């Protein structure tokens, strides 16, 4: 398997779809556990793709091209999984709006299919209306929602409402939920899965019927909705007040372009982190995002004080939102302190 | 009421107070049944929900019998709410189940513990496994309620209270109220399911097809209809051919939604048929135009048609392109240079006898050709239209990334630009050489 991991990584780096798919096919033909191929080879390889982009080693185009290779490799396992007889119930697997990472959902769906579940996969960035239509058409035993970006948590909540209103239990998972069930349960999910195997195991233990998810706490929800509604305006305000481009180190135009693209991304993420905290009551997305932003910017040669400065700008921009403002003031710098400690 | 008065009332008429509390519980439960059952339009989920509400609060055991559309019966529930099985109608002839279904009248049955007294259960529970579960509950009251909605009895609800905990008269009446609420929800779900089955079969035939694998090339497509939950719309694409001669078609019929989708089905079929006789894009579009004009329909179609010839080693391809009133494809070169192919032609279905010109472009290794519909450039966000400039500005970042990544990037960029606003159908089709 170690050899396979290295070989898969080479195929991703070379953006060689043919090598990746034939490697996966060989592993399956050799009788390797298909779930292990999904998790230990493909998902593990894909994680390094994201890390390479984050460290500024790969361009967006290369990251996307490599991801496409990982998707085509996963499709080989998905087709293999189709041969498994259906012995359990039905599951609808979906990604909420703003979730463009379709690969984890494809992996989860294939893993469930391998265990005899009949799965219906809805692709990237699906609207609550489309999910709802599918739930009424299919009438599944469970809904599984994959969410890797904080920005997709608000629609994930709508997915949870759509599903539980129909009495259908919802399993959620993905990096946006962090490493424990806090955020998942706060959003009203029936269960949180730490990984693909966990999601598959959970399906057997879910109740047949769940109650409609309780309403979210009113005050923070009102702030979150206002921030989301004003997202574009707030991004523009942040862009105006925080001017990293002028202090950016890189001289050559290409590096400068990549850097400014990263800065744009950073502003969206910062607001999404605040939204996620308001929705879930879990403050950790704020320091985690601050640390992520710091790594992203310093990897691109930025002034190391830039992330801290963004925290100040963010706090002052959100002055009209008392809860959000307080959260940023209290928690943003924690991420940078942690980051500093791990760096030294 | 003062506290002392309240105390006096409680002390004087404890049963009255209990009755009041009991009545309140029932009103709450009935409200819960109504709101919970309206949450689902799926028949199976509605049944599960009903069973979950009933046990253990109203009964120790519950089963729903539904008449299905193929003259059989489906039994749901029992000890395991997810249990479901179908039985032929003949099996219930002369039983209590048939009586309730035909008469619409509820029946209450007392079943004692004597071994030979399972006869009553036989008549209400037409399945061995479920019957065994019920036998365990003796002495029991078996209440069989007609599920009557909108003038038809669509099934029965069988509930059992075991161990001598029977159904007093007012509980029977309350159960009847629940059954009548449940009937309407179950009937709505049944109607939705029947319509849904017809619709999903038609829908499947109108959905864009799976793409074939083209030897020596990579191809990818995306489709996001205006009515996202319908999965169909007025944009279409199709890829057909063999060996080194493939036709890639992307088009847009006027209108959106179901009516437009029906027309895309015809356009796709017409194009396939035309290509059977002459595969040149100019000839395909001419045939499509003539047929649409002859049909005297006010409907028109815009199409881009590309004939793709990959080289044997998959390192380059010759592409012949013609368009009918459609935006010309964009070629994203490996070095990041982006050019829109210069080709134009009149929309199909308007001018009888119109002819179409064809241009030839060469795709090298690392180049990708993108075809798109106007749902892309005419997407409306907070800054007006998405526009061609934004599209042409986005593409160089994805030079060399291949068709899948390119389609995904464009879809994502447009959808994020829309920021939740309504949009027209969006379709993308991209192709590159394999190497």
The answer to whether the CB atoms of A64 and B45 lie below 8 A apart is no
Flag whether pLDDT at A245 surpasses 70. Answer: no
Angle, alpha carbons A192-A77-A168 (nearest 5°): 30
Question: How do residues B155-179 score in pLDDT, each as one tens digit?
Answer: 999 999 988 788 998 899 999 999 9
| Gap between the Cα atoms of A144 and A105, Å rounded | 8
Count CA within 13 A, CB hemisphere, residue B352. Answer: 7
Q: What count of residues does chain A have? A: 344
pLDDT tops 80 at residue A10: yes
Over residues B77-86, the pLDDT tens digits come to 999 999 999 9
What sign for the dihedral angle of Cα B130, B133, B137, B138?
Answer: positive
pLDDT band at B205 (very low <50, low <70, confident <90, very high): confident
Q: Is A249 on the interface with B (CB under 8 A)?
A: no
SS3 of residue A2 by DSSP: helix
Backbone angles phi, psi at B80, to 5 degrees: -105, 110
**Does A208 contact B415 at a Cβ distance shorter than 8 Å?**
no
Instruction: With CA atoms as reference, report the closest residue to B367 among B396, B397, B336, B332.
Output: B332
CATH code at B3-203: 3.30.450.40
Task: Give percent helix, percent strand, percent coil of chain B, each to the nearest 5.
Answer: 40, 25, 30
C-alpha pair distances (Å), A232 with each of A98, A276, A315? 15, 17, 17
In this complex, is the C-beta atom of A68 within 8 Å of any C-beta atom belonging to chain B? yes
Whether the per-residue pLDDT at A343 is higher than 50: the answer is: no
Q: How far apart are CA A97 and CA A146, in angstroms?
A: 11
CB B305, CB B249: distance < 8 Å = yes
pLDDT in tens, A16-69: 999 999 999 999 999 999 999 999 999 999 999 989 988 888 988 889 999 999
Tell me the fold of A1-83: 1.10.1240
With both helix axes pointing from N to C terminus, report the angle between B403-418 and A60-81 in degrees, rounded to the nearest 10.
110
How far is the C-alpha of A198 from the C-alpha of A219, rounded, in Å?
34
- For the beta carbon of residue B209, count every other beta carbon within 10 angstroms: 13
Q: Are B417 and B390 in contact, with CB atoms under 8 Å apart?
A: yes
With an 8 Å Cβ cutoff, are B412 and A125 in contact? Answer: yes
- Residue spans of the domains in chain A: they are 1-83, 84-214, 218-343
Quick one: average pLDDT of B78-101?
92
Residue B39 in contact with partner chain A when CB distance is under 8 A: yes
Q: Kindly indicate whether the domain formed by A84-214 is annotated with CATH number 2.30.30.60.
A: no
- In words, the CATH class of domain B208-433 is alpha beta
Q: Which of A18, A129, A208 sits opposite B48 (nearest CB)?
A: A208
Q: How far apart are CA B358 and CA B346, in angstroms?
A: 13
Stretch 165-204 of chain B: residues touching chain A, C-beta under 8 Å: 192, 196, 200
Which of A70, A133, A139 is the best mutation test for B, with the most CBs of B within 10 A?
Answer: A139
- CA atoms within 13 Å, Cβ hemisphere of A208: 19
Shortest Cα distance from B228 to chain A (angstroms)? 6
- CB contact under 8 Å between A209 and B402, yes or no, is no
Contact B36 A232 (CB under 8 A): no
B420 part of contact set with chain A, CB < 8 Å: yes
Q: Does A323 touch chain B (CB under 8 A)?
A: no
Contact B429, B250 (CB under 8 A): yes
pLDDT of the residue at A254: 64
Question: Which residues does residue B146 pair with via DSSP β-bridges, in sequence order?
Answer: B156
A93: closest CA among A48, A55, A124, A58?
A: A124
A 100-159: CB under 8 A from B: 100, 124-127, 129-130, 132-139, 141
Q: Tell me what the pLDDT averaged over chain B comes to.
A: 90
Q: In chain B, what are the domain boundaries?
A: 3-203, 208-433
């Amino acid at each position: 398997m170690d050899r396979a991991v290295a070989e898969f990584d080479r195929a991703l780096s070379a953006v060689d779809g043919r090598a990746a798919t034939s490697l996966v096919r060989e592993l399956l033909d050799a009788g390797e556990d298909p779930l292990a191929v999904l998790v230990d080879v493909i998902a593990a390889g894909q994680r390094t793709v994201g890390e390479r982009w984050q460290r500024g080693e790969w361009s967006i185009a290369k990251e996307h091209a490599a991801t496409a290779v990982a998707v085509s490799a996963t499709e080989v396992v998905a087709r293999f999984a189709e041969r498994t007889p259906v012995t359990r119930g039905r599951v609808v697997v979906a990604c909420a709006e703003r979730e463009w990472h379709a690969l984890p959902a494809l992996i989860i769906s294939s893993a469930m299919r391998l265990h005899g579940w009949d799965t219906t996969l809805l692709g990237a960035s699906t609207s609550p209306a489309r999910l709802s239509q599918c739930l009424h058409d299919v009438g599944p035993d469970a809904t599984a929602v994959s969410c890797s970006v904080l920005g997709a948590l608000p629609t994930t909540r709508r997915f949870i409402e759509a599903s539980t209103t129909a009495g259908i239990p919802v399993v959620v998972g993905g990096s946006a939920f962090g490493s424990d069930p806090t955020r998942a349960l706060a959003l009203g999910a029936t269960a949180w899965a730490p990984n693909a195997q966990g999601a598959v195991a959970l399906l057997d233990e879910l109740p047949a019927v769940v109650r409609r998810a309780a309403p979210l706490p009113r005050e923070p929800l009102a702030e979150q909705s206002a921030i989301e509604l004003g997202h574009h305006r707030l991004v523009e305000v942040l862009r105006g007040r925080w001017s990293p481009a002028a202090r950016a180190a890189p001289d050559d135009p290409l590096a400068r372009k990549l850097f400014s693209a990263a800065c744009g991304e950073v502003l969206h993420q910062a607001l999404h982190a605040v939204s996620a905290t308001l929705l879930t009551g879990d403050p950790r997305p704020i320091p985690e995002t601050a640390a992520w932003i710091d790594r992203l910017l310093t990897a691109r040669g930025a002034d190391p004080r830039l992330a801290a400065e963004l925290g100040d700008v963010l706090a002052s921009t959100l002055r009209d939102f008392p809860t959000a403002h307080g959260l940023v003031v209290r928690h943003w710098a924690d991420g940078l302190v942690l980051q500093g400690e791990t760096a030294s | 009421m003062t506290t002392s008065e309240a105390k006096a009332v409680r002390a004087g008429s404890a049963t009255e107070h209990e009755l009041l509390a009991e009545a309140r519980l029932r009103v709450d439960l009935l409200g819960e049944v109504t709101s919970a059952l309206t949450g689902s339009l799926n028949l199976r989920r509605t049944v599960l929900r009903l069973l979950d509400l009933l046990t253990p609060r109203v009964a120790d055991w519950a089963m729903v019998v539904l008449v299905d559309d193929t003259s059989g019966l489906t039994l749901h529930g029992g000890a395991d709410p997810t249990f479901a099985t179908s039985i032929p109608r003949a099996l219930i002839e002369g039983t209590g189940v048939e009586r309730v279904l035909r008469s619409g009248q509820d029946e209450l049955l007392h079943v004692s513990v004597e071994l030979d007294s399972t006869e009553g259960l036989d008549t209400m529970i037409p399945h061995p496994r479920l019957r065994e579960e019920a036998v365990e509950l003796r002495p029991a009251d078996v209440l069989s309620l007609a599920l009557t909605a909108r003038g038809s009895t669509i099934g029965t609800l069988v509930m059992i209270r075991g161990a001598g905990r029977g159904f007093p008269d007012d509980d029977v009446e309350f159960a009847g109220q629940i059954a009548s609420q449940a009937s309407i929800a179950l009937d709505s779900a049944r109607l939705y399911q029947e319509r849904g089955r017809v619709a999903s079969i038609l829908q499947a035939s109108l959905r864009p097809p799976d793409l074939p694998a083209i030897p020596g090339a990579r191809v990818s497509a995306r489709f996001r209809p205006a009515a996202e939950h319908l999965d169909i719309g007025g944009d279409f694409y199709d890829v057909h051919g063999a060996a080194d001669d493939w036709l890639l078609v992307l088009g847009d019929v006027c209108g959106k939604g179901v009516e437009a989708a029906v027309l895309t089905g015809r356009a796709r079929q017409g194009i396939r048929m035309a290509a059977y006789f002459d595969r040149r894009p100019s000839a395909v579009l001419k045939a499509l135009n003539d047929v649409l004009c002859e049909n005297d329909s006010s409907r028109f179609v815009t199409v881009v048609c590309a004939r793709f010839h990959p080289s044997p080693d998959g390192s380059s391809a010759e592409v012949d392109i013609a368009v009918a009133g459609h935006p010309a494809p964009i070629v994203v070169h490996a070095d990041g240079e982006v050019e829109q192919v210069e080709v134009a032609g009149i929309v199909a279905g308007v001018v009888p006898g119109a002819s179409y010109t064809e241009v030839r472009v060469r795709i090298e290794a690392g180049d990708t050709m993108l075809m798109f519909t106007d749902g892309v450039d005419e997407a409306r966000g907070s800054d007006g239209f998405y526009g061609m400039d934004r599209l042409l500005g986005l593409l160089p970042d994805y030079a060399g990334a291949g068709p899948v990544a390119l389609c995904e990037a464009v879809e994502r960029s447009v959808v994020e630009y829309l920021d939740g606003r309504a949009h027209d159908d969006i379709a993308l089709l991209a192709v590159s050489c394999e190497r």
